[in-house]
Amino acid sequence: MTRLWAATGECIARLDEAGGAWTVELMLDGSRAQCLATDPADQDTIYAGLRGGGVLRTRDGGMSWHDCSLPEADVYSLAVSAADGSVYAGTEPSRIFRSDDGGGRWRALDGLLELPSRPSWSFPPRPWTSHVRWIAPSPHDGDLLLAGIELGGLMRSRDGGRSWQDHRPGAQRDVHALAWHPRAAGRAYEAAGGGAAFSRDDGDTWHPADDGMDRHYTWAVAVDPEDADCWFVSASTGPFKAHRDGNAEAGIYRRRRNEACQRLHGGLPDPLPSMPYALVAGDGRLFAGLRNGELLESTGQGERWWRCPLPDDDLPAIAALAIAAGT
């Protein structure tokens, strides 16, 4: 059985697949769920980040939810470290909190706010503020942490978030998504408003990865768990196309060793009319969650795609997507 979790912007959805058939259960309706994180050690433990509601946690697969009493209300990013189990929450205004007991107690990692670039952080639709759009703890080192500010830069910590290095050389500043390779230590990936980038040195320095791409507003990123040189990003021509109803003019791109980025066509409309807001890979499968609520699946490093037959078109949108532990 495959289990996915999705945040729709309004609720959380649990998607279960067995024998090719999908079931969908919606929960936390009206919660304005923005993001989520699965616990790598426990299939039934999930964290949900809400706009205006902080962080909620379930330890029973969504049957009940507990308020984790995060000090800030507007949560834009969540992560659970595969290295040491720490839970991280990123908020608007830009702050990061860490819990070492599963969301029971939080401590602010306010060394982030001491960075020289902080006065320049500004989210264009609300220029008086910014938010932590993505948090990526290394799966290989519990002290190594990446964080993306929208809009402000890609920051790095080597001591579990107590202190931070400012925007890393070569990275894009309008960070939308970050990923580590689960097996190849040191390899990291970025999707951002100005394009994609990758790192081979634990996120210290970054290299552009836009060759072959005909659109550079990238949003989601995923990496093949078996191949650190094969990774995927979604992209559109710009923010207005990506985030408004109509034709997003979007695509899913694959980059492999010694190859330029390639827009994937097999089974997909070209271009995609709805933006892929989420990409997630695991167990030989790649999923894309779209702004219009569709779920797409691929195998074979993205060569062929098809639409997952979700019942009754239950999902109004997919803003974030995660695979449950053990899937």
pLDDT tens, position by position, 150-181: 999 999 999 999 999 999 999 999 999 999 99
Q: Is the pLDDT of residue 314 over 80?
A: no
pLDDT tens, position by position, 278-298: 999 987 899 999 999 999 999
pLDDT tens, position by position, 125-144: 999 999 999 999 999 999 99
- Show me where the domains of the chain are located: 2-323
Q: What type of residue sits at position 216?
A: H
Joined tokens for residue 280? 């997630």
Query: Residues 106, 99: contact at Cβ < 8 Å?
Result: yes
Residue 225: φ, ψ to 5°: -65, -20
Q: What is the pTM of this model?
A: 0.95
Query: What pLDDT, on the 0 to 100 scale, is given for residue 185?
Result: 95
Query: What pLDDT, on the 0 to 100 scale, is given for residue 114?
Result: 97
Q: What share of the chain is helix, strand, coil (3-state, %, to 5)?
A: 5, 45, 50
b/e map 156-176, b = 16+ CB within 10 Å: bbbebbeebeebbeebbbbbb
Band of the pLDDT at 240, cuts 50, 70, 90?
Answer: very high
pLDDT tens, position by position, 252-268: 999 998 889 999 988 88
Query: What pLDDT, on the 0 to 100 scale, is given for residue 327?
Result: 64
Does 2.130.10.10 match the CATH number of domain 2-323?
yes
Band of the pLDDT at 306, cuts 50, 70, 90?
Answer: very high
Task: Provide the 3-class DSSP secondary structure of residue 186.
Answer: coil
Query: What pLDDT, on the 0 to 100 scale, is given for residue 313?
Result: 65
Distance separating alpha carbons of residues 71 and 109, to the nearest angstrom: 12
Q: Is the pLDDT of residue 326 over 70?
A: no
Query: What pLDDT, on the 0 to 100 scale, is given for residue 222?
Result: 97
pLDDT tens, position by position, 220-238: 999 999 999 999 999 999 9
Distance separating alpha carbons of residues 221 and 234, to the nearest angstrom: 7
- With a CB cutoff of 8 Å and minimum separation 6, the contacts of 169 are 205, 206
